[in-house]
Chains A and B, each alone.
Chain A
Amino acid sequence: MSAPRERAAPATGEPATRRRFLTWLSRAFLGLWGLGAAGVVGAYLRAPEHREKVAGHLVSAGLLDDFKIGEGRLVRHGVSPFYVVRLDAERVVALSAVCTHVRCIVDFDRERRVLVCPCHDGRFDLAGNVLSGPPPRALPTYAVSVRAGEIFVHL
């Protein structure tokens, strides 16, 4: 590979074999070298996970008496924010605030009782169903329980 031209024409078969072996050896060495460098860089680049664990948690959304009837509040919970809406005296629903289209945070329209996505005007009812617009799926809903006047959402 690196040998000058003059020595490039071996008369017998043996030097050619040796040459091929040396070429193979240097290529293997360089390959290993590159592999090691790639491994080091790859290990370094793998970003440390900062994601919060959200599954299987009970999240408190405040006292039931603090919610007026028809009021909805955004709970800024890690990577899965959600809305808590008080429908009437007893019923409270919780549903994801992350639009299923391109992950924008939806707004709560108290007058019409719908969730409106500001990005592409996707609309959801308070059961999470898509009313109009581009969202492909319904919003996930979460179970809600009220214990001693405090609202808990089962994520």
Chain B
Amino acid sequence: MSATRPPDPNGRASWVDWLERRINLSEIFSFLTHFGFVITPVDTSRPVREVLREVAETPVPKYASGPRVLGLLTAILFALEAVTGVLLAYYYKPTPEAAFESTRTIVRDLPAGWFLHQMHAWGAWLLAAVVVIRLLRLFWDGLYRAPREVLWWTAVAMVWLVLQLDFTGRLLTWDAHSYWATVRGMEVVFALPIAGPILAFLLGGRVVNDDVLIRFYALHVMVLPTFYAACVYFTFATLRRVGLSPAPEGRPEATTTFRDHLYTMLMLTVGLFGVLVTLATVLPFRFLSAADPYVTPGGVRPPWYMLAPYATLQWLPVPAWL
């Protein structure tokens, strides 16, 4: 170590000092603040240790609790989906011949493959629930008003993106249930006036075949997650600008330090992980036989968030010409 540099107050001469003489670590760290993850401006001319210490002691509103946690959960659950999704994509083959076989290999033969599969499925279930509840809560509390419009529109976009991710991901396993759920879903898409034929063109036709599968795969792993990540960025960056949602009526704003906030977030992730592990182990999603385009199995139903419109449609007297 260089003798001219003052020793670290903690007496630890480490790789951080070594690196800091070569790269501006504070600059790199300040990059994170652009994403709103760290809610404080950073002086990039100072050493990274000082910056981190200052950031750790910065008071932040306690937002990993109450209804505000929903926004955080949309990001944490998405990160979990990204990690498990990448791991699943390592073994998945998006062709009609190999899709079911490769999924079965993951679920049945690979160590912990079933676990990652179920975690991904349950994570998607929870993510759909969280974004919908968050949208309802933003609406209920009137948080769509100026200057928070961007937050509202990104929340709407996130709901739409998660439902599309769920729809495209559902087909990928290519088992009987997923296949026929997609066939029915596609019919709904095509029934839309004007947008229907355009979407049919973009999605690769009316018949669910290899063209549709590869497009769903590309949408599911590349296009939609990118847009979702952009929405997460917009959410956090806008929050930095307009501030968090106001505290509930008559209650003072509780503040904490950033260090504690990180710790709470870590605990939140661990708790979430526990919930997901429990669900994945106790209530695994079923995985049926391979899809046969000539045999429709009984009991094919839409995903849970579509059950209400589905039941309404069944109950309503729909005229024959519709």
Query: Does A55 touch B at the CB level, under 8 Å?
Result: no
The answer to whether A4 touches B256, judged by C-beta atoms less than 8 angstroms apart, is yes
- Of the candidate stretches A9-17, A40-48, A87-95, A116-124, the one touching chain B is A40-48
Q: Mark B80-101, 1 if CB is under 8 A from A, else 0.
A: 0000000100100000000000
A19 to chain B, nearest CB (A): 14
Identify the A interface with B (CB < 8 A).
Answer: 1-2, 4-5, 30, 33, 40-41, 43-46, 48
Q: Can you give 13 contacting A-B residue pairs, CB < 8 Å?
A: A1-B259, A1-B263, A2-B260, A2-B267, A4-B256, A4-B260, A30-B266, A30-B270, A40-B111, A40-B115, A40-B116, A44-B111, A44-B112
- A4 and B260 CA atoms in complex are apart in Å by 8
| Interface SS, A side | helix
Identify the B interface with A (CB < 8 A).
Answer: 87, 90, 109-113, 115-116, 256-257, 259-260, 263-264, 266-267, 270, 273
Across the interface, A45 reaches (CB within 8 A) one of B87, B264, B273, namely: B87
The answer to whether B111 touches A41, judged by C-beta atoms less than 8 angstroms apart, is no
B284 to chain A, nearest CB (A): 16
- A33 and B116 CA atoms in complex are apart in Å by 16
The answer to whether B87 touches A2, judged by C-beta atoms less than 8 angstroms apart, is no
Residues of A within 8 A of B266 (CB): 30
The answer to whether A2 touches B113, judged by C-beta atoms less than 8 angstroms apart, is no
7 nearest CB pairs, A to B: A43-B111, A40-B112, A2-B263, A44-B112, A2-B260, A43-B112, A44-B110
Residues of A within 8 A of B263 (CB): 1-2
- A5 and B257 CA atoms in complex are apart in Å by 9
Given A40-B111, A41-B112, A44-B111, 12 more pairs with CB closer than 8 A? A2-B264, A4-B256, A4-B260, A5-B257, A30-B266, A33-B270, A33-B273, A44-B87, A44-B110, A44-B112, A44-B116, A45-B90
The answer to whether B270 touches A41, judged by C-beta atoms less than 8 angstroms apart, is no
Residues of B within 8 A of A48 (CB): 109-110
Residues of B within 8 A of A4 (CB): 256, 260
- A46 and B110 CA atoms in complex are apart in Å by 9
- A43 and B113 CA atoms in complex are apart in Å by 9
- A41 and B257 CA atoms in complex are apart in Å by 33
Residues of A within 8 A of B115 (CB): 40
Residues of A within 8 A of B110 (CB): 44, 48
B260 to chain A, nearest CB (A): 5
- A30 and B112 CA atoms in complex are apart in Å by 20
Closest to A41 in B: B87
Residues of A within 8 A of B260 (CB): 2, 4
Closest to B262 in A: A2
A32 to chain B, nearest CB (A): 11
- A41 and B87 CA atoms in complex are apart in Å by 8
B271 to chain A, nearest CB (A): 11
B112 to chain A, nearest CB (A): 4
Residues of B within 8 A of A2 (CB): 260, 263-264, 267
- A44 and B264 CA atoms in complex are apart in Å by 29
- A92 and B10 CA atoms in complex are apart in Å by 74
- A43 and B256 CA atoms in complex are apart in Å by 39
Residues of A within 8 A of B259 (CB): 1
Closest to B57 in A: A5
A92 to chain B, nearest CB (A): 41
- A1 and B257 CA atoms in complex are apart in Å by 11
Residues of A within 8 A of B264 (CB): 2
A43 to chain B, nearest CB (A): 4
Closest to B105 in A: A48
The answer to whether B270 touches A44, judged by C-beta atoms less than 8 angstroms apart, is no
